[in-house]
Each structure stands twice: as structure tokens, then as C-alpha cells.
Structure 1
């Protein structure tokens, strides 16, 4: 499986990946990342926070963007150069998140592609938004 070459990409082209975030996902992400903030893992603590319960790590939803870029658009062989992120709403256990990457600009002379990136929950709320710069396979 090979990703798109820059010559095969067009502005406006997009791809998405959808996943329901489980309690297991959050615990595994905490173990992998080392982020054991009680806002993610301790219900007694989290119920007294602004969100009134545990929430998933922001970077967990952002990692779904990486899945889109690395697997679909531009896909396998792509190198991630940079990513900006704004976390706009919490992701709760059981939320279904759709991550999307959409080609915004193409720089063929540098083999670079700029993408709008965002994650939306099952209610249509944008939870994460940003921009990525990637290098498609040669």
C-alpha cells in the first residue's frame, strides 16, 4: 500500500477516520504517553472539575488526525513535518470522533502539502482544529 505522490493530490481533497473513544483507549493512552492526569483517570477527582467527569486526553483525539495522514491522505510514506492544534471542546468516554484532513495548499517545488485538520464528535461539535504540513512520498 502506497500513499499519494504530490502530483496525485488536489486542493480540497480530503479523507476521514472515525473511532469511538473507550475507557480502555484512555487508559492505554495514559500508559503510552505517561499522562496520568486525574482528569482522565479518576472519576472522583474529575467530577469536581469544569467538565464534571473524566475526559479523554486532547492528544488522543489529535492522534486520530495522524491516522488519517499516515494511512489515507497523503497516506503511507508521508512524513509529518508540523501540526498546530486548538482543543475546542472535551472528548468524553463513549464519544465517536471523526478526524478529517483536507488539502489546503500544495507546494510541488518543495514536495510539501498543507492540510486543514479537525475532529468532530457525534453531535457535530468541533473538538479539535488545526493545520498540518506534510511531505508526501516521492
Structure 2
């Protein structure tokens, strides 16, 4: 069930996380929704000759997990996602279990805006995606 953490109850250092194992279905569904059918994501034969020698998930799937944490855990519902800086640092492979973590690092009480450090790691604790998100919270 989604949380609804009030702005005044959020403090610097507060964290929340969500984990998901990325399946072949997830990658194909994402490709279908976005129209991104880059063969490195969906074609095994093509991917064998690519940099990673196998299919990789779309980097934006990891970014989507950050959105899920912000929208359901911290700050939760009634959050307006304003912007996101992203760095894709490592590939996400089919079957990887990703954990997206957000940590409050800055608050603007006048405008009810919050900056979160955003990190996505795989099951080996390797950072695959990091950045910062700015949200507005009612």
C-alpha cells in the first residue's frame, strides 16, 4: 500500500527503497510501451555481438524504479516529480534484482520542494544508476 508522508515529517537523511527482479517480460513490456525496440534489448542474436555480449534491459527501467519509490514510499502519494538527473553506470541484465533507494538530502520549506539522492544497485551491490531527483510535496 502506498505511503503518504507529509512534507513536515520528512527529514534530511530519511531513506526508502524498493526492489524488483527484471524479467524478459518487463523488458518487452517496456519496449512496447515506449516503442524502444533497440535490438540490444530484445534480440539475442544481435546482442551477442554487442558490447555486453547479451541482451540488456533499458536503462530507463531502473529510472522507473526510482519513480516508484518516490510515488509510493517516500514521499509517497501526492508527490509531484519535477526533474531527475541520471547517470547510467553499469548494464542491467535480464534476471538482475535491482534496488532503488532515495535519500532526502535537501528541503526548501518555502516551496515544499525536496531533493533526493537516487541510487539503483543490482544484487551484487553494484551501482547501475545514480543521480538526484527534485520533487514537490503537498
TM range (shorter): over 0.9
Deviations 1:63-119 (A, max 9, x none): 000000000000001000000000000000000000001000011111100000010
**Contact 1:84–1:130 at 8 Å: present in 2 too?**
yes
C-alpha distance in 1 between matches for 2:120 and 2:28:
20
C-alpha distance in 1 between matches for 2:45 and 2:53:
10
**Residue 125 (structure 2) pairs with residue 124 (structure 1):** yes
C-alpha distance in 1 between matches for 2:114 and 2:130:
17
TM-score by length of structure 1 reads 0.97
Cα deviation for residue 3 of structure 1 reads 1.5
Q: Which residue of 2 aligns with 1:85?
A: 86
Structure 1 residues 1-138: aligned runs within 5 Å: 3-136=4-137, 138=138
Cα deviation for residue 31 of structure 1 reads 0.1
Report the number of matched residues: 137
For structure 2, the 5+ residue unaligned runs are none
TM-score by length of structure 2 reads 0.97
C-alpha distance in 1 between matches for 2:80 and 2:28:
28
C-alpha distance in 2 between matches for 1:2 and 1:69:
10
1:93 partner SS: coil
Cα deviation for residue 2 of structure 1 reads 5.3
Instruction: Go from structure 1 to structure 2 and tell me whether the alpha carbon gap of 1:75 and 1:123 turns closer, same or farther (over 3 Å shift).
Output: same
C-alpha distance in 2 between matches for 1:4 and 1:105:
16
Q: Which runs of 4+ in 1 moved over 3 A?
A: none
Give me the CA root mean square deviation. Answer: 0.8
**Contact 1:2–1:77 at 8 Å: present in 2 too?**
no
Deviations 1:17-65 (A, max 9, x none): 0000000000000000110000000000001011000000000111000
